[in-house]
Amino acid sequence: MNRWIATALTALVLAGCAAPTPEQQVIDDAAKALGGASRIKSLKALTIQGTGTAPNAGQNRTPDDDLPVWKVNEYTRTIDLANVRLRAQQVREAQFLFAGDLVQRQTQGIDGDAAYTVAANGTIARAGGTAARDRRIEFLHHPIAVIRSILDSDVTLNNLRAKAGERLVDVTMPGGDVLMLAIDSMTHLPSRVVSMVDNPNMGDVSIETRFADYEDVDGVKLPRRLTTKMDTYLQLDLQVSKNTLDGDVSNLAIPAEIKQAKVPDPPAMVVTAEPVAKGIWWLAGSGNHRSVVFEFDDHLVLYEAPLNEARTKAVIDKARTLSPKPLTKVIVSHHHFDHSGGIRTAIAEGLTILTHRSNETFFKALVARQHLIAPDALEKNHRQATFEFMDDRLTLKDKTMEVQLYYLLDNPREGTNIYAYVPRDRILVQADLYDATWLRHSWGGNVLQNLDTRGLKPEKSVPVHGVIEPFTQMVANIKAKPGT
């Protein structure tokens, strides 16, 4: 009996001394290179300060142009490693033509599973599920935070492989988040982290953060440069000026009533239909992305499939209540993500996409992308896309309706934009050319010059953003706040 007990104890000891799996060994080597597992696990907090650039994906002048850039003049990310909390604060300045505040202060974070934003007056508001996902990624996309999370949690490590000087391992966190961690084969320091997520426009995309220029801070290796991309688009290139360990994180916990509050539901997509003229409706409602319906003799045409699947589906459904005639096509004004977010939905609904020819390659690529993480309507019901492309101008006309479409010439911000003009009613329909609420109209002079060049004499402005108003008021606002 005593011999059996001794044998069993020996087996337990040997099991406890069993060699780690190859995947675990890679993590152990990374922890040692960063300063040691015990040192990492003893850390309470990490603060990163710096400056950088943050390009604005989906808002370039043309699909092939460089992205417009926010200059990040101040950036602070504070991480409570023990309690899974993070708060990021930044001051950013627009380096491009922009109609809103050129300097913006933003504060947002996550406390456990609760994502939140902080308003300028200090008010904290619970954010939705997508924000929580994005901020969990932000938390884990730092070498100390990801290694600490692996050391502290019952994670699943698998699929170890080698590629181009890196050792790659897939990590599944207890909550289900999955990421790929890359370790430099020579230094054993983490070189990058990759997470796969859904993007409404682009479908399945990778969020990758690369780490470079490591320095030693109190015995811990920390990167001085973090570069994050979404797919091929740069999101943030952060030059770290100061890494601080174990600073004060007492302000990262949010009030219990906010943390325990229900995650906000996506806003209801309310679509209203306001008659503008005979056979023309302005589809407004919730948000500030409107659409316009034109009624021809035997069909309807929609101007704009905006924002995302939910908005565009609601708009299409509303349009089909306005007449028994079939809705056959949608005019997509330009390629910006908030204006092209509904093209896959429109295709799934059987509509032809009419847009400027310079969008052809970009739009066809968007339609071809996979949406497997969060299947959209087109992923669930594959349908052949039908496109119609125009160049300088195109007229849609029958005995009931005439709509003239024009390409916006030589605009410094809008390189693929088409606007509509109804000569019978002298109505201008446009997206991103003008909004009465804008602080400045930096490209408004070009818009007025375009209308003059085309010989158009609008009486009424019917916008995608803003309110319907007399064209004389539009002109007055542009001249009053021309911008720079």
Is 168 within a domain? yes
Q: What is this structure's pTM?
A: 0.93
Q: Which amino acid is at 94?
A: A
Which of the listed residues 259, 283, 310 is the one where a domain comes to its end?
259
Is 157 within a domain? yes
User: Which residues is 223 bridged to in the sheet?
Assistant: 214
Copy the structure tokens of residue 175.
């909550």
* Mean local confidence (pLDDT), 306-317: 97
Is 436 within a domain? yes
Percent of the chain scoring above 90 in pLDDT: 92
Please check the confidence at residue 264 and state whether its pLDDT lies above 70.
yes
Shared-domain flag, residues 242 and 281: no
Shared-domain flag, residues 318 and 465: yes
Please check the confidence at residue 16 and state whether its pLDDT lies above 80.
no
* Mean local confidence (pLDDT), 244-261: 93
Shared-domain flag, residues 31 and 125: yes
Which of the listed residues 210, 236, 259 is the one where a domain comes to its end?
259
Q: Are strands 402-407 and 393-397 parallel, antiparallel or unpaired?
A: antiparallel
Per-residue pLDDT tens over the stretch 88-109: 999 999 999 999 999 999 999 9
Per-residue pLDDT tens over the stretch 32-53: 999 999 999 999 999 999 999 9
| Residue 9: partners with Cβ closer than 8 Å, 6 or more residues away | none
Q: Tell me what pLDDT residue 8 has.
A: 47
CA gap 230, 181 in Å, rounded: 16
User: Which residues is 462 bridged to in the sheet?
Assistant: 429
Domain count for the chain: 2
Shared-domain flag, residues 462 and 351: yes
Shared-domain flag, residues 296 and 250: no
Is 407 within a domain? yes
Going by pLDDT thresholds of 50, 70 and 90, the confidence category of residue 17 is: low
Shared-domain flag, residues 157 and 246: yes
CA gap 163, 191 in Å, rounded: 12
Which of 288, 269, 290, 270 has its CA nearest to residue 280? 290
Copy the structure tokens of residue 164.
């181009």
Please check the confidence at residue 2 and state whether its pLDDT lies above 70.
no
Per-residue pLDDT tens over the stretch 178-190: 999 999 999 999 9
Contact 73/80 with Cβ under 8 angstroms?
no
Shared-domain flag, residues 49 and 71: yes
Shared-domain flag, residues 42 and 85: yes
Shared-domain flag, residues 411 and 463: yes
Q: Which domain holds residue 394?
A: 271-480
Contact 346/312 with Cβ under 8 angstroms?
yes
Per-residue pLDDT tens over the stretch 208-241: 999 999 999 999 999 999 999 999 999 999 999 9
Average pLDDT score, the chain: 95
Which of the listed residues 236, 259, 282 is the one where a domain comes to its end?
259
Shared-domain flag, residues 97 and 60: yes
Shared-domain flag, residues 329 and 182: no
Per-residue pLDDT tens over the stretch 312-342: 999 999 999 999 999 999 999 999 999 999 9
Residues 19-23: contacts with CB under 8 Å, at least 24 apart: 21/157, 22/160, 23/157, 23/158, 23/159, 23/160, 23/169
Is 465 within a domain? yes
